[in-house]
Structure 1
Amino acid sequence: MRTKRVIPGFGLSMGVTITWLSLIILIPLAALFIKAAGLGPADWWKILTTPRILAAAKLTFGASAAAAGVSVVLGLLVAWVLVRYRFPGRRILDAMVDLPFALPTAVAGITLTTIYAPTGWIGKYLMEWWGIKGAYTPLGVFIALTFIGFPFVVRTVQPVMEDLGAELEEAAASLGANRWTTFRRVIFPMLVPALITGFTLAFARAIGEYGSVIFISGNLPMKTEILPLMIVAQLEDYKYSGAAVIASAMLIVSFALLLLINLLQRRLNWQAR
């Protein structure tokens, strides 16, 4: 007797999947590249090599990579605490990790600006004690991007860490390994693919972030402007082709970086086998 499937057959399911992905991803991306293709290579080069765009690109990709790297370290630590320890308030702390997901980006930007401004709760002490200005500097951009990317690492590493049984650690301890050796030689290699995935997600999210950055950055030309802001500036000047060129260049660079990271992740998974 043939059992009935809960989901329709392969043909109908695949058709709905391709149609939906085309409507929300493929067609908009194709329209973007078609719009940008209306300009020739010389126009592309002229737009992308202006000093203002180059400065924004350097800050966007540099701050995104730095924020994703810090998120990997802190995310691993937080995931370790949430998985390996039981303490009062653990569930509240676990729920707070998802706060950047639920918080509107504009609200996050205003909140971070209020805290890290020279007169803010934290910003005034940074200024008085160390002479560091949090808001309206590249450091402010880094803080905002770390805030929005941090949960991606925690939620990527946490389930993998939960699946790691205590048997491996007990076996390593029985062979004479101390805690640091056990973590470095046994646990950490198993977490590397998840950490790379978390880094990729945090990095990709940070590149396109706009709402939480524009407030804390101050949008100072050649200093704290980001590429999404340059796209908005082009649109406000009715330069739609220029905005499409910048957006297309961001997509190309992002896809290339993500491809390299995914290839590295595959190689690590293959070596682990």
Structure 2
Amino acid sequence: MTTFSFRKPGVLPGFGLTLGITVTYLSLVVLIPLCAAFFKAATLDWAQFLAAVASPRVLASYRLTLGAAAIAAFINGVFGLLVAWVLVRYPFPGKRLVDAIVDLPFALPTAVAGISLAAVYAENGWIGQWLAPLGLKVAFTPLGVLVALTFIGLPFVVRTVEPVLEDFERAQEEAAACLGASRWQTFSRVVLPALAPALSTGVALAFARALGEYGSVIFIAGNIPMKSEVTSLLIITKLEQYDYAGATALAVVMLVASFAMLFAINAVQWHWQRRTIGRRRVRTRGSKPSAGTQGAPS
């Protein structure tokens, strides 16, 4: 007797068609523009490339951009974890409003964010007027760049950590408490290792986003050469001067820096996953009864 089996059609087309569409879309949107930047920068010889990417003014912009982006990513890592913890673990009035405010840097145009930050942190602004007597000038200084980069990077950490924290089993914390662990020991040895991959991903995304930020920075930075000028502004300046090769050379340097950061984070996550899988295997082997004791009477 011959039986016929009919495969239930899926919602999406087959693997070959979907893979082709995916590769084509990524090529048109991501790969081809990035390759074009590298090819345009390759039109410069080595001496011209070094002159474009290693002048004193450009090196000063690197120091400010990379340093402010790294500090902002660290700040967002600490306070983003705190915000995600509060949103997940505690009910309180206005929780939905706070949750919506977290996404505000995503929805707000960067130019509007920059103008708002400059107005608030200026010497006569709502916050700047209280900081000025203390000798803290935020607007039109490198500190203003740090504020802007922290503003635009916070949602990356919160939205990356939040789902992992929601799925974390509270029973592990209860077990640690039953074994006599303090709150800090429970957090540092039980909760934080589980959140570390997501937290590092959020920090890396915030750092990579801050490297290329332009709109929210130019209004609050002051754009003083050698002092408060970021690399993205230099790229725009070179484009306005019709120096397309020099602009793409700077863009390639920042692109490589972003890729290196993301690659390092992925390598760390891969190492953590291997260690976690290895520990689970060791625990599984240790919990299995040995062959000599399987048939032993109790």
**TM-score using structure 1 length:** 0.98
Which residue of the partner structure matches residue 83 of structure 2? Answer: 78
The alpha carbon displacement at 1:46 in A equals: 1.1
Provide the rounded CA distance (Å) in 2 between the counterparts of 1:116 and 1:39.
Answer: 41
The residue that corresponds to 2:207 in the other structure is 203
Structure 1: where are the runs of 5+ without partners? Answer: none
Matches within 5 A, 1:95-244: 95-128=100-133, 130-244=134-248
Q: Which residue in 2 is equivalent to 1:28?
A: 33
Structure (1 or 2) with the larger CA radius of gyration: 2
Distance (whole Å) between structure 1 residues aligned to residue 257 and residue 45 of structure 2: 19
In the aligned structure 2, how far is the partner of 1:269 from the partner of 1:69? 22
**For 2:177 and 2:257, how far apart are their aligned partners in 1?**
45
Q: CA RMSD in A?
A: 0.8
Could you tell me how far 1:91 is from its partner in structure 2? 1.0
Kindly state the Cα deviation for residue 77 of structure 1 after the two structures are TM-superposed. Answer: 0.5
Distance 2:173 2:16 in 1: 47
> How many equivalent pairs are there?
272
Distance in 1 (CA, whole Å) between partners of 2:60 and 2:70 is: 15
CA distance in 1, matches of 2:170, 2:252: 47
Q: Please list the CA deviations of residues 149-171 of structure 1 after superposition, one character each: whole Å capped at 9, or x if unmatched.
A: 00100000011000112111111
CA distance in 1, matches of 2:190, 2:272: 15
1:272 Cα deviation from its structure 2 partner: 2.1
Q: Which runs of 4+ in 1 moved over 3 A?
A: none
Amino acid at match of 1:95: A
Out of 260, 263, 269, the position equivalent to 2:267 is 263
The structural deviation recorded for 1:180 is 1.3
Give a deviation string over 1:253-272, Cα, whole Å, max 9, x none: 22122211211121122212
Q: AA paired with 2:163?
A: P
Residues 199-220 of structure 1 deviation map (CA, whole Å, 9 limit, x = unaligned): 0110010001000000000101
2:55 equivalent to 1:50 = yes
8 Å contact 2:208–2:261 — kept in the other structure? Answer: no
Residue 254 of structure 1 aligns with which residue? 258
1:4 corresponds in structure 2 to 9
Instruction: Report the Cα distance in structure 1 between the residues aligned to 2:28 and 2:176, rounded to whole angstroms.
Output: 51
CA distance in 2, matches of 1:89, 1:256: 40
**Offset at 1:236?**
0.6
Unaligned runs of 5+ in 2: 1-5, 278-298
